Amino acid sequence: MPESEQWLELLEEKGCRITEPRRTIVDLMVHSDNALSPIDLFDKARASFPKMGLVTVYRTLEILNQLGLVERVHQKGGCHMYLRAANGHEHIMLCTRCGQAAYFHGDDLGALIHKINSESGFLIQEHWLQLHGLCKNCQ
Ligand SMILES: [Zn+2]
Ligand SMILES: [Zn+2]
């Protein structure tokens, strides 16, 4: 089954009605290597559905995020973009100029987290790491 069909099935199980605009949003997210803001997605989807509502975009992204299918990418200034979720424990690198995003794994924060645990008395249970910079094309 194509990945977008799997996503649509999961959406349906969440009680989401599968409409053509929704199908388009899912298709765009599944096939995008770049992180997309809701407005980016809205503009792209409106090419096929001029009557698409921005609320549909936000609502669909919210549910995809709850399902763990897309991940929020944080930007300076507090806006969010969205990217297909990683496989397993990976972190996002984001190009601050063009929005290209990629996952990497292999962070070794174990020793640092252990040190912080014992110094602060906090019990650290998870971490979130995102790198910002310029992709090859934008340097
Ligand atoms: Zn770039
Ligand atoms: Zn990590």
pLDDT digits (tens, 9 = 90+) for 26-41: 999 998 878 899 999 9
Looking at the CA of 126, which ligand is closest? 2
CATH number where 38 lies: 1.10.10.10
Q: How far is the CA of 34 from the centre of ligand 2 (A)?
A: 21
Beta strands in 2-126 (DSSP E): 70-74, 80-84, 91-95, 101-104
Nearest ligand, measured from the Cα of 127: 2
Rounded CA separation 58/2 (Å): 23
The total domain count for the chain is 2
Mean pLDDT of 82-111: 84
pLDDT tens digit sequence for 10-20: 999 989 899 99
Percent of the chain with pLDDT over 70: 100
For residue 117, the number of C-alpha atoms closer than 13 Å in the C-beta half-sphere is 11
Determine the distance separating the centroid of ligand 1 and the alpha carbon of 115, expressed in angstroms: 35
Cα-to-centroid distance, 130 and ligand 2 (Å): 9
> Which residue is listed with tokens 């990629």?
102
The residue segments making up the domain with residue 96 are: 90-139
* Same domain for 121 and 107: yes
